Homo-oligomer: A and B are copies of this chain.
Amino acid sequence: MLSKSQIGFIKSLHQKKYRKEHKIFIIEGIKSILEFISSNYQVHSIYYLAQFEPLLPQMPANIKLFEVNNAELEKISTQQAPQGVLALVNTPEARKIEPAVLRNKFSIVLDGVQDPGNLGTIIRTADWFGFENIICSLSTVEVYNPKTVQATMGSLSRVNVFYQELPDFFEQVNLPVFGAMLNGTSLYEVNWGKEGLIVLGNEGQGVTEEVIKKITLPVTIPRVGTAESLNVAISAAILCADISRNLQK
């Protein structure tokens, strides 16, 4: 049984303002929760329907457990069809990425991606292909948005997501910068090499002018048909898949 104040607190975390204030975000579903428990994230508390208790592992003592009923879960859940278990997770301290960490690998840079589902899908795809780091412009949607978290399908627990002022960031790292653009070198002719940054822009506007200046090679996914553009998460995936294939040659 949750108190009114507990329910009010968790519901407040549906909003970015309160996630930021309390440094806590919501994850849902037993699989995601198990992945976060065994990650570097600190799980704060877990709210579960009775029938999900057997699925919960032995918990560290600092994770608080609350059995809830359906009505309570519906109130605190961010989803139309709650998944039976919900957890609160502490947001890690915002970190700056160390340029040295990005050597000898590929990382994704997002310049103003706005749709939370797109960001989440990009994180999930990065996790599949072993891209460890995603660097987001300050204009990119918040990674702790429930729709983002949901779309990552647990991959948020494994992929590092940084928020940085982008033009500054490119000054600090000295790596090839590939940009997904509508006019550039054909994907089929790109020599990726062994390290670099892959820049993807906003859903409507693409990459900002100031970031375009930092791109060393604009890359285009050749179009055969008539669509005006590709979804940004789709473009990211096609580039990641090509890089991954190239690295395994």
Contact = CB atoms under 8 A, between A and B. Distances in A.
A71 interface: no
Contacts of A233: 121, 231, 233-234
Interface string A153-181: 11100100000000000000000000000
A125 interface: yes
A11 B71 CA distance: 29
A131 interface: yes
A248 interface: yes
Contacts of A131: 225
Interface residues of A, number: 39
B227 A155 contact: yes
Contact of A188 (B187, B234, B248): B248
Interface string A113-156: 00001000100111111110000000000000000000101110
A154 B228 CA distance: 9
A221 interface: yes
Interface stretch (A41-49, A58-66, A84-92, A237-245): A237-245
30 contacts: A117-B117, A124-B230, A124-B231, A124-B234, A125-B227, A125-B230, A125-B234, A126-B225, A127-B225, A128-B223, A128-B227, A128-B229, A129-B223, A129-B225, A130-B225, A151-B231, A153-B227, A153-B228, A153-B229, A154-B227, A155-B226, A158-B227, A187-B245, A224-B244, A234-B234, A237-B237, A237-B238, A238-B238, A238-B241, A241-B241
A184 interface: no
Given A121-B231, A130-B225, A155-B227, 20 more contacts: A31-B228, A121-B233, A127-B226, A128-B227, A128-B229, A129-B223, A130-B226, A154-B227, A154-B228, A155-B226, A158-B226, A187-B245, A188-B245, A188-B248, A222-B245, A224-B248, A231-B233, A237-B237, A237-B238, A241-B242
Contacts of A154: 227-228
Nearest to A241: B238
A237 B188 CA distance: 15
